Structure 1
């Protein structure tokens, strides 16, 4: 294993992140709220650490194999999450210990959006901006990882890549060089963010809130700059704008790539995963509307725009809070949490199993039913007009088994730590699906849960963000054998 080459890359990553620490410092200068010192300290500490790792190894450039690629991807998130905790440790306004600082950092970078901080309206603007920036950077990292990097590392080979973003037009949608692909993805990601921020500003947000919420919306993170979340603004236009951009962010960025390259919006609707994604969201909105407005649950005071936003935000694993869904009829919170297991499209900033995997499992189930009726018949599995190889179905089943394994292990550890079963289920679901929504007796803040549970949640956030296999493979003896 080329250890020094790996250290060089990690050093570069730390150095790069250190310069992003200066952006909240600029915000502190603009608003003069005294929150800039912690970011200067964090910048210096991260820069020194990055240089210490990079400079002695800057000449070690070697071709990395698949195993080393897996390790670098995991280190990318672990190291950046650790460096990202610096400002939370240095800040005197929130006084977070190591566990809570790491929790907040990893929750931001993995776009989970769970928090242990309260009193957001009283915090310095720089710190609030930093939380949103973490999510935005993590969201872009997810896109490049899922669409550009993981296929080359062999997470199920190129077969799994095609399983995650299937369709007749997709095999040729990416440019052959990963650098070119990443640059185009960055441009699309930034363009959507800018359009979202401008739209929110026109709808009534000030520039700080508009930019901050555009970061968390496009990253599908769910952090807000106010304790009341989006309910603080009480603006139907803002709610509809965010709903639209959540759907856009929940779409496969490979489709954005194709639509951007061909200037053809019909690209989206031709994709079976996207159509299924829209159908699921529409079904959830209709069911929720019926349950709340056309049943005895009509006493719940919520407007239609709030209902739509809350449903879409929960189902896409964004986790925005517009209303306390714990006060909704018990059927709906359970339904929406179950929907978060499906999540958004593959290659998006959302979490969950991903729509395409659930769709493939459904098609496989239909095929097995047909085989029961006609045992000698040969049925091929198609997605769109494309016949999929059996290796794809095997990889999807393997992913589901791995997901269930991680879920159950986390669930029992949290129960053993003293959390009751229902809360443990919600906690694992909200962290492994990168949802971040406080459900059950947890409420809006996870500050009250014990440290063991928080560390389990941090690990689950990484598992959910790295598509299970990428992290799980490091725990196998085969990986470490030379």
Structure 2
């Protein structure tokens, strides 16, 4: 293990991250909201920490290998969660304990959207903006951003890209060089953010709210500048725009690249994974709408508006709320929450197990039924016209098995902290799926749960963000053997 290259990369990335303190610091001066020194001191501390790591190994030219890439990826999220918590902890207006500051920071960076903060609309504008910015930075993975920057600093990025972008389709590159791939992804990401911000502004949001919600919508994060989330605006137009951009952000960003390059929007419907995702999410909208219409006093239009928005928000793992799905009648809260386990497409900013894995599990189940009927038959599994190798199917089953095992371990640990079953089950699911809101005591925020539970959930967020295997690899004894 080349620890010098690890220190060098972490130092460089911390110095890059320190720049994130400057926009909210400038905003604090503009609004004169009293939070300037929280960001100024955080900038100094993070930059100094990066320099202390980087300077002793400045001249090191060791090659970054796959093992170091996995370790850097895992360490970087922990280090960034710590660095990102500084302005929240130093702010007297936020008044957070260190556990709460780290939880809020980590939830933002992993785009989980679980919050411990209340009275958000009364906080300084710079703090409110910073929370949204954290999600925007985490949305496409700060590691992918670093991949675009590190080659210019003399550090390759392929190993980092593979560790961050896990999933069945992770080896597909949009451009021959990894830096070009990362830049293409970020151009698409920035373009979608700008379009979402413009749409929100035209629909009636203030420029501040429009930018903040564009950040968290495209990142599929769910943080809002108001306690009532999107429901604060009580606008069908704003909710419609949110639905459109949540659906776009839940698509594989490689699909956006191909559709833009070929100028053929029909590419979205030709993609088997995204077609499968749209089929399920529109079905979920229909079931939610009909159930609300039949069991509540909502009119047909109101039921459609609420049902479509909440179904999209939860299944894409965004976590926005217009009314709060936890209070829906009958089976709806559990149905919607279970939908978040699938999430969006691989290569998107969504959480969950990803649509392609669920599609492959379904096809594998259908094949096993056919084999029972025709034991000597050969039934290849295809996604579109492409046959899926058995190695990929084995990897999907392995991921699913490990996911269930980790979920059960965290669930038992959460129950051991004294929480009830519904709260524990939904909190673990919301963390591992990077969803945010849960059921029970965590339906609106996580402020009331014990500190031990919050640290467990941070671990679950990291597992979900790195899609489990990256962290499992780092924790295995085999990884550390020579």
Q: Residue 164 of structure 1: SS of its match in structure 2?
A: coil
Distance 1:45 1:300, change over 3 A: farther
> What is the match of residue 123 of structure 1?
123
Q: Is the 8 A contact 2:249 2:349 kept in 1?
A: yes
Alignment of 1:164 with 2:164, yes or no, is no
Distance 1:46 1:152, change over 3 A: closer
Q: How does 1:429-440 map to 2 (within 5 A)?
A: 429-440=429-440
Deviations 1:110-147 (A, max 9, x none): 000000010111100000000000000000217939x9
Q: How does 1:141-160 map to 2 (within 5 A)?
A: 141=141, 144=144
Distance 2:190 2:64 in 1: 29
> What is the match of residue 283 of structure 2?
283
Q: Residue 251 of structure 1: SS of its match in structure 2?
A: coil
Distance 1:206 1:61 in 2: 49
Q: How does 1:202-241 map to 2 (within 5 A)?
A: 202-241=202-241
> What is the match of residue 425 of structure 1?
425
> What is the match of residue 254 of structure 2?
254
Distance 1:324 1:385 in 2: 41
Q: Is the 8 A contact 2:24 2:39 kept in 1?
A: yes
Distance 2:201 2:296 in 1: 35
Distance 1:354 1:200 in 2: 27
Deviations 1:86-105 (A, max 9, x none): 01110001211111111000
Distance 1:104 1:232 in 2: 21
Greater mean deviation of Cα atoms: 239-248 or 325-334? 325-334
Task: Give the C-alpha shift of residue 260 in structure 1.
Answer: 2.0
Number of residue pairs the alignment of both structures matches: 474
Distance 1:198 1:143, change over 3 A: farther
Q: Is the 8 A contact 1:236 1:306 kept in 2?
A: no
Q: Is the 8 A contact 1:66 1:154 kept in 2?
A: no
Distance 2:186 2:106 in 1: 21
Q: Residue 297 of structure 2: SS of its match in structure 1?
A: helix
Task: Give the C-alpha shift of residue 322 in structure 1.
Answer: 0.9
Distance 1:466 1:24 in 2: 28
> What is the match of residue 381 of structure 2?
381
Q: Which runs of 5+ in 2 are unaligned?
A: 149-155
> What is the match of residue 364 of structure 1?
364
Q: Is the 8 A contact 2:143 2:164 kept in 1?
A: no
Distance 1:182 1:92, change over 3 A: same
Q: Is the 8 A contact 1:228 1:321 kept in 2?
A: yes
Distance 1:374 1:143, change over 3 A: farther
> What is the match of residue 347 of structure 1?
347
Task: Give the C-alpha shift of residue 34 in structure 1.
Answer: 1.6
Distance 1:151 1:305, change over 3 A: farther
Q: How does 1:437-456 map to 2 (within 5 A)?
A: 437-456=437-456
Task: Give the C-alpha shift of residue 377 in structure 1.
Answer: 1.2
Greater mean deviation of Cα atoms: 135-144 or 406-415? 135-144
Distance 1:67 1:447 in 2: 37
> What is the match of residue 477 of structure 2?
477
Q: Is the 8 A contact 1:113 1:437 kept in 2?
A: yes
Distance 1:375 1:344, change over 3 A: same
Q: Residue 342 of structure 1: SS of its match in structure 2?
A: coil
Distance 1:67 1:14 in 2: 20
> What is the match of residue 298 of structure 1?
297
Distance 1:309 1:30 in 2: 34
Structure with higher RCO (Cα < 8 A, 6+ apart): 1
Distance 2:306 2:24 in 1: 31
Large movers: runs of 4+ above 6 Å: 147-151, 153-158
Distance 1:156 1:375, change over 3 A: farther
Distance 1:225 1:91 in 2: 17
> What is the match of residue 192 of structure 1?
192
Task: Give the C-alpha shift of residue 150 in structure 1.
Answer: 10
> What is the match of residue 333 of structure 1?
333
Q: Is the 8 A contact 2:250 2:344 kept in 1?
A: yes
Distance 2:6 2:160 in 1: 15
Task: Give the C-alpha shift of residue 258 in structure 1.
Answer: 1.1
Deviations 1:390-436 (A, max 9, x none): 10001000100110111000000000110111111111011110000
Distance 1:157 1:122, change over 3 A: closer
> What is the match of residue 135 of structure 2?
135
User: Structure 1 length normalisation: TM-score?
Assistant: 0.94
Q: Is the 8 A contact 1:300 1:328 kept in 2?
A: no
Q: Is the 8 A contact 2:431 2:460 kept in 1?
A: yes
Q: Which runs of 5+ in 1 are unaligned?
A: none
Alignment of 1:54 with 2:54, yes or no, is yes
User: Structure 2 length normalisation: TM-score?
Assistant: 0.94
